[in-house]
Copies of this chain bind each other. A is one copy, B any other.
Amino acid sequence: MAKKIISLQIVAKKIKKYLCTNTTTMNYFSSDFKLGILGGGQLGKMLLFDTRKFDIQTYVLDPSDEAPSKIACNKFFQGDLMDYETVYNFGKQVDVLTFEIELVNLEALTQLENEGLKVYPSPKTLKGIQNKGVQKDFYTESNIPTAAYLRFESPAHLQKSVGNNEITIPFVWKCTEFGYDGNGVKVIRQISDMDDLPNVECIAETMVPFKNELAVIVVRNPSGEIKTYPVVEMEFHPEANQVEYVICPARIDEKVAEKARAIALNVSEKFNHVGLLAVEMFQTHEDEILVNEVAPRPHNSGHYSIEASYTSQFENHLRAILDLPLGNTDSKVAGVMVNLVGAEGFSGDVVYENIETILGWDGVTPHIYGKKQTRPFRKMGHVTIVNENMNEARRIAEDVKNTIKVISI
């Protein structure tokens, strides 16, 4: 009799557990629920701050045994993100799947989604983004303003088109797939610049003279709740043509900011995107906004949000993919972000020279990604500077940029 009561209690508990974990509001917190993350780089690492804060279990897949995400996830798997079997088998072990890098096996994601797994952003969305030609076509079809372009199967087709005066030099060449962090983009200023292009599908895009490069991060959950972060501005080095500062809010006219946010919102909705979408844009001299490209994940242009926003981009990505209510995207204070990249001429065990100095300044927070080895231009971390006063934040950011150096021992 006693045994029967106990076993009935166990059954009742199991039913209760089933109900608690299988209704519309799942029990994510300190539960058996598992979130899978493809990629274990710095974006994954920063996402794990929020999974840890909420005590949500995470499984991470990354090719490197030294991935920055390795130690703060619940289970780490080493494997190739482009390999069908690896990604598929990883996905079968989790309840919701997301990624921190776009270069993942799309077929595996599609198969997993077809089998009922929640994959956010959806592979359908990712498919429209992974290939820049398809992405540009999508903007055109969706009436989203973007720079004029033509698609080509190969550099040979492109060169023929240039020969026929269908395109005029200068223009921007972009490979349609697998470009990353500036790779796969080249300004063609003369015929000979096309000589050493890789033999891949590409687009040729009109060079747009612009006065600002802007970005808007949009977050959207499966229930359709959607929010945008304030517009940020990428400030370029006057000579090197390299982004030096990400500034939030952008120092632009309020009307232009509203237009940029509305366009970004439209892009996210048209893509039926779930999770975080970073929309990079040009502000032309006529205050037109043209969409450059998007990233379907937490993004460098949103790192400032960890210190400056009510809800960081990472927490909001997590909320979105779990269909939780989205957090406030407003800023508490002004924020400026400076990337920490490996200095030229240094390779080896990393040292952050003068980091003690910048730690002594108000509102300065370095984020060290945890890569043991520096190489020229390798992204090693970033520094956020927050202040009530934007000009003060910008001034300190310049001091930070001129002080800390990523070198090797």
Contacts and interface: CB of A to CB of B under 8 A. Distances in A.
A28 to B, nearest CB: 9
B359 A324 contact: yes
A349 interface: yes
B359 A325 contact: yes
A380 B91 CA distance: 30
Contacts of A73: 71
Nearest to A332: B332
Given A45-B52, A73-B71, A324-B356, A13 B370 contact: no
A347 B369 CA distance: 40
Given A332-B333, A360-B325, A362-B328, A355 B71 contact: no
Contacts of A409: 13, 16-17, 20
B319 A359 contact: yes
A342 to B, nearest CB: 12
A262 interface: no
A237 to B, nearest CB: 25
A192 interface: no
A350 B72 contact: no
Interface in A333-359: 333, 349-352, 355-356, 359
Contacts of A30: 350, 352, 368, 370-372
Contact of A310 (B48, B72, B386): B386
A325 B356 contact: yes
B45 A352 contact: no
A49 interface: yes
A145 interface: no
Contacts of A369: 55
A67 to B, nearest CB: 13
A29 interface: yes
A367 interface: yes
A39 B370 CA distance: 24
A25 interface: yes
Contacts of A365: 53, 311, 315
A54 B72 CA distance: 14
Contact of A368 (B16, B55, B74, B350): B55
A363 interface: yes
A63 to B, nearest CB: 20
A366 interface: yes
A184 interface: no
A27 interface: yes
B72 A355 contact: no
A355 B29 contact: yes
Interface string A84-120: 0000000000000000000000000000000000000
A381 to B, nearest CB: 8
A327 interface: yes
Contacts of A54: 366, 368
A148 to B, nearest CB: 42
Contacts of A355: 29
9 contacts: A17-B349, A17-B409, A20-B409, A30-B368, A31-B351, A52-B370, A53-B367, A55-B369, A324-B356
Given A29-B350, A30-B368, A332-B388, 6 more contacts: A29-B351, A31-B351, A54-B366, A315-B365, A319-B359, A332-B386
